[in-house]
Amino acid sequence: MKKIFLACLVCFFILVKVSYSAIIEVGVTEILDGEVTSIIYDNSSNVVKFSTEFYNTGSVGYKARIKIEVFNDSELVFVGWSKEKVLMPGGKEVFDSYWYGDRGKYSMKVKTYFGNEIKDYKKFEVELNRDITPEDVFEIKDFRTYDNFVIFDIKSKVDTKDVVIIPSKYTYGWIFEQEKIDSMPENSSKTVIMKYYPTVWNPDNVNLTIVAERGKYYSEKTFEMKKIEGLKGLFLYLIDKLKILVFRLS
């Protein structure tokens, strides 16, 4: 009888311990943080490519993008946004962005947007020394605006590569991503979808700069960002959605 009592007592304490352990939670501090680990840029031509490596030093995943601001003395002359990427804890990504500038000395500021945080990186100087007389070879057709993207076709008169489409002027405060086409054969056309994120929507203009092969080819055009309403807008939207589907499958 005594042995049974002792056995029951031991079982009781084991159950109490297990139950107590089950309610203990191990707390992990969530940290939202990140840092720029390197910035590499090529200013050997009028088309400057910035490659910014960003490192998630925190304990939570987030989406991130890079913003580059270009100043001529104190005047802000250009704002460029990279594409958005997902960064998990401990992850690193390189964000590319482009700027087309004239000869001169400029100061640059890099800002990182991640989660709900914004971090400034130190300012640095960039000097452009080359003067290139570019050839206008690109044509933009069928530009249309939707809630968070614009779509259009680009045609090239020559065989070219490294075609960059840069939104150079648009509503201040909006995010407007850049796009890049690896190559375009002579007289070929490419469909381009560019994402943008307005704060407060209002019809406005966007200036698109198209450059290729380190500034050898250059075209620029301004478009009115105005949504097409009614049945015509719905019809064009369905056509453009089909074009996007074909574009993604190709």
Q: Which domains does the chain have, with CATH numbers?
A: 35-128 (2.60.40.10), 138-249 (2.60.40.10)
Above 60 in pLDDT, residue 11?
no
Q: What percent of the chain has pLDDT over 90?
A: 63
The band of 202, judged by pLDDT with boundaries at 50, 70 and 90, is confident
The model's pTM is 0.81
Residue 75 CB partners (closer than 8 Å, separation 6+): none
Q: What are phi and psi of 97, to 5 degrees?
A: -150, 155
Lookup: tokens for 160: 């070219």
> Average pLDDT in the 36-50 region?
90
Whole-number pLDDT of residue 211: 95
pLDDT in tens, 59-105: 999 999 999 999 999 899 999 999 999 999 999 999 999 999 988 99
The mean predicted confidence, pLDDT, of the chain is 87
Least Cα distance to 125 among 95, 101, 144 occurs for: 101
The band of 18, judged by pLDDT with boundaries at 50, 70 and 90, is very low
Residue found by looking up tokens 């993207």 in the block: 149
Q: What are phi and psi of 187, to 5 degrees?
A: 60, 20
Whole-number pLDDT of residue 133: 83
Q: For residues 46 and 102, is the Cβ–Cβ distance under 8 A? A: yes
Least Cα distance to 228 among 114, 105, 146, 139 occurs for: 146
Residue found by looking up tokens 């890099």 in the block: 110
Least Cα distance to 168 among 102, 89, 80 occurs for: 80
Whole-number pLDDT of residue 122: 79
Above 90 in pLDDT, residue 58?
yes
The band of 19, judged by pLDDT with boundaries at 50, 70 and 90, is very low
The band of 20, judged by pLDDT with boundaries at 50, 70 and 90, is very low
Above 90 in pLDDT, residue 156?
yes
Whole-number pLDDT of residue 236: 83
Above 80 in pLDDT, residue 28?
no
